[in-house]
Structure 1
Amino acid sequence: MLERIDPYGDLILTSEEMPQFLAELDYLAGLAETAGERDVLANVARLAAACGEDAALELHLVGD
């Protein structure tokens, strides 16, 4: 899932994709070296969890 993220493009993830996305975020959190990195990943994980609980929601990752 994370391989699909393009820093210059946009990616829309649906609620069906959240279990895999959350698992990958959890893996990254284990690799985070700073509290700031962990905070960012935790905030994204909170949004992803909310999206995973409501099929009407999508997670939009917007590139530069």
Structure 2
Amino acid sequence: EVCRSEGVGTFPDPLSCDHFIMCLPGNWRAFPPHLMACPDGTRFDASLKICNYAANVPCRH
């Protein structure tokens, strides 16, 4: 589980370039990880921690 290993923050979804996982502070049972989708035409940019234009973000999926 990414939140247990990485802590609070936003992290790439290992299965999809246009999604990311948001880990919130607090008890992981009360605040489970959230799978978030980037808007159409964008991908999650792990270096900037934002959704960026797809042409600017390499994808391995």
Give TM-score scaled by structure 1 length: 0.22
More helix by share: 1
Give TM-score scaled by structure 2 length: 0.23
User: Which structure carries more relative contact order (alpha carbon 8 Å, separation 6+)?
Assistant: 1
More strand by share: 2
